């Protein structure tokens, strides 16, 4: 039996000094990359998660997703409405869902997320699952900080994380908690 290859379409979203690879399946956005990432890194990520996939550049297909990201960066939107297609372990998916509950402009600690899912001692595992989040910004892992409020690791880099936290805090009604 010949398995049909999955089509993954990608484009580059540019905002100020950053460029981010963005990719989608037929079901929704499956990847938002890190600033400075190369095409080879995108390709390696896709091959690791989708065993049989054709990666095709398609700016028009990603246009709505890039528009949502631009609206977020411009401060005209605080939410994302387009579909997301992410796959991980059941624990990772539980964490990624929990991240969506962190309000815009607020920060939670890894311990807060562990408590939110009813596993208060699992904060290290929570950190690992957060680090595996494939769609930066859209699933707001940047809102997670150390228990003492310290800006901690972020796949997109600490400069982008700080930028996103400042962006949200500076919007009307937003503030770090």
Give yes or no: 30 in active site.
Answer: no
Residue 55 tokens read as: 């990666």
State the Cα–Cα distance between residues 130 and 110, nearest whole angstrom. Answer: 9
Residue 69 tokens read as: 């990201």
Is residue 24 a contact partner of residue 85, using CB atoms and an 8 Å limit? yes
State the Cα–Cα distance between residues 23 and 42, nearest whole angstrom. Answer: 9
User: How far is CA 32 from each of CA 29, 44, 125, rounded to the nearest angstrom?
Assistant: 8, 14, 22
Nearest Cα to 25, choosing from 89, 65, 66, 84?
84
Task: Spot the catalytic one: 8, 116, 122, 141.
Answer: 141
State the Cα–Cα distance between residues 137 and 165, nearest whole angstrom. Answer: 11
Is residue 139 a contact partner of residue 100, using CB atoms and an 8 Å limit? yes
Write phi, then psi, for 87 (nearest 5 degrees). Answer: -135, 135
Task: Give catalytic residue positions.
Answer: 141
């Amino acid at each position: 039996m010949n398995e049909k290859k999955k089509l993954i379409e990608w484009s580059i979203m540019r905002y100020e000094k950053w460029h981010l690879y963005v990719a989608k399946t037929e079901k929704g956005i499956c990847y938002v990359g890190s600033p400075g990432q190369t095409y080879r890194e995108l390709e390696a990520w896709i091959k690791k998660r989708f065993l049989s996939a054709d990666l095709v550049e398609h700016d028009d297909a990603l246009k709505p997703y890039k528009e949502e990201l631009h609206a977020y960066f411009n401060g005209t939107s605080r939410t994302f409405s387009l579909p997301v297609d992410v796959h991980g372990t059941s624990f990772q998916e539980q964490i990624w869902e929990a991240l969506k509950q962190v309000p815009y402009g607020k920060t939670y600690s890894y311990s807060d997320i562990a408590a939110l899912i009813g596993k208060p001692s699992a904060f290290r595992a929570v950190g690992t699952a957060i680090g595996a989040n494939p769609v930066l910004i859209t699933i707001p892992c940047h809102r997670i900080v150390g228990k003492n409020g310290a800006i901690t690791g972020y796949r997109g880099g600490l400069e982008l994380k700080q930028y996103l936290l400042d962006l949200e805090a500076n919007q009307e009604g937003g503030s770090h908690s």
